[in-house]
Amino acid sequence: MHLTVSALAATVFLATALADVNEGYPVFDCKIPLFTEKLPTFALGKAALFPTGQLESIIKTAAGGAKVDVREEGDAKYWLTGEILIGHVNKTSNESLVFPYLPSLKPGDLKINNDALKALLGDQAIIPQDKTRAGIVIGSRLTGSSQVVGKQPADPATYLLEGLIQRSIPYASGLHPVCGSGSQAAFDFDIDGNIRGLRHSWRPAADQNRLLSPLNPDHIQANITRRLMAAGIGSSATVTSVDLCFYDANNQYLQPAFRFNATVKSDNGPEITFLEGFIPASYSGELEPLPAIATPSTTGPTPSTPDVNATPEPPTRRLAGPSRRQASSVSVGRYLMSNDRLSPNFIDEASNLLRGLRGASSRFVDSQYYWDDPYVYTASGSARYINAVHLAFSDGHGSAHTFLTNGSKTDRGRVRISGDISARGFGGGTGRLAYWILGECSVIPAPIDFPSGQGQKAFEPWWRVFEGGMHAVVGYRGLASVNPGKWREVGGVLGRGTSVVHGFMRTMLPTGKTAAVTRCGRDADSVFMTAGLGRPECLQIWWYK
């Protein structure tokens, strides 16, 4: 513990404020910035609408030659290739999204198309000029490798490279990033330097000529401490960085906030998760709400406990098809790690995912919501639980090919992929599962996460999972940060019908390095494509690096 004079002062300050909270203090393993100059605030103007002609030409490229249909519904415009969503514009918020049609991508040596990015950056219709700054940042690379049954995996190849326009604010002799979901301009470049995907949302900002006094470091530390303790994760958190950013919630303001990154340890074990949080940067508090950390008293309904002793129902009853009326519905099952300090956050993420899905389409049925248990995945249990739904979401702590389900069990309810799951796998051949979202950290390592020449180890456990004919598993290859807002966003993206694989990987990339395992040739499938596929001959792993 780095106990400085300032930490001591903050502790004294807090002792009175938190006398009734039975929770330890977090460790601060970083410098806390000191600012003395008054902080500016900005009012946001009208959202720029990405120019239609340019957008349509990007969508045409993104489809890679496949036929594109356009559909308008209320305030939304959709571009589809078959059943798969390629482009979406929300004419109320003026947000634009384009997702590449994955089967049309070619691998190669990727470079950022600087000329194209500079042209976008200089285009007033896309990035309206104001007192804020915008600069080019090189983002992540989408990489893939496949393995045919019984063969060595193919060498990893890169398919897309992200180029971002990062907005920042000059203040106190430095540039401070704009954070939050509002200022987005990210572009996916293919091997020919063409744009295949984008996320765009941007409002010009006007200085409000309102100056706020920045919190001093003691108060920054005290406020962060207070948030972590109220969330019940004080003693398991280590704050690893604190910086100043200007939060854009795509609402009215760009407001100064201190952003902190913390690692949160699982109870009784070594696993960690990231957490990103924000506190208002000044003594005037927040101008509009900043994202909050879930606290045990503010989360949604708690899951039920699965009945692990029930006699499995005969599979014929379980497998009976959905009723005619519900023929096109997608059943959703959510399974969350219990008895961990982060459990309220897992509930928050699960509630948001469902909210996002249902906000986008009425076809989603909330059919299962349980505290997680290894039984959910076994030969007898999976028929009643994970393999009885089309779309499953597990959340908790994880590590390579492993996740935890119940912090109170002696082994914390460890589930190993593949040793602890049904030998018949999941999918339409044995049940119903088509897509599995793993919210835990690190469960899907990529071939490059193993020593050279051992890339097959990344694939090996997944063959059993896919045995039943499912379509795809998506999650993270590295540590991920808790971020309920993003889970709502990804629910919306998947619910509108993007590729589950890339819609998830791209949307959640800001929360950690995402990855996916998919049956070869099925990486474009949307969540509505749930037909069972039989045993696979080839698996593909996609990852961001």
Ligand X SMILES: *[C@@H]1O[C@H](CO)[C@@H](O)[C@H](O)[C@H]1NC(C)=O
Residues at the interface with ligand X (CB under 6 A): 46-47, 49, 75-76, 90, 92-94, 215, 219, 223, 226, 241, 243, 261, 274, 276, 279, 283, 305, 338-339, 371, 406, 408-409, 481
Helix (H, G, I), strand (E, B) or coil at 501: helix
Q: How far is the CB of 30 from ligand X (least distance, A)?
A: 8
Copy the structure tokens of residue 380: 């007898």
Q: Which is nearer to ligand X, 93 or 367 (CB)?
A: 93
Give 69 or 75: the residue with its C-beta nearer to ligand X: 75
Report CA 396 to chain centroid distance, whole Å.
14
Q: What 3-state class would DSSP assign to 236?
A: coil
The tokens for 154 are 């193919």
Nearest to 222 by CA among 28, 429, 505: 28
512-519 and 95-98 beta bridge pairing: unpaired
Residue type, 37: E
Q: What are phi and psi of 118, to 5 degrees?
A: -65, -40
Compute the least distance from the CB of residue 93 to ligand X, in Å: 4
8-state DSSP, 282: B
What minimum distance in Å lies between the beta carbon of 90 and ligand X? 4
Question: Mapping DSSP to helix (H, G, I), strand (E, B) and coil, where does residue 396 land?
Answer: coil
In total, the chain counts a number of residues equal to: 545
State which residue, 458 or 505, has the beta carbon closest to ligand X: 505
Q: Which is nearer to ligand X, 223 or 329 (CB)?
A: 223
Q: DSSP class of residue 382?
A: H
Our CB check for ligand X shows the closer of 481 and 514 to be 481
Residue 208 Cβ, how far from ligand X at the closest point, in Å?
Answer: 18
If one counts every other C-beta atom within 10 angstroms of the C-beta of residue 42, the result is 25
Least separation, in Å, of the C-beta of 496 and ligand X?
Answer: 7
Chain mean position to CA 354: 14
Residue 501: name the closest of 434, 417, 431 by CA.
Answer: 434
**Quick one: 14 or 434, whose CB is closer to ligand X?**
14
* Smallest distance, ligand X to C-beta of residue 115, A: 26
Q: Which is nearer to ligand X, 261 or 367 (CB)?
A: 261
Contact present, 136 and 121 (Cβ < 8 Å): yes
Q: How far is the CB of 295 from ligand X (least distance, A)?
A: 13
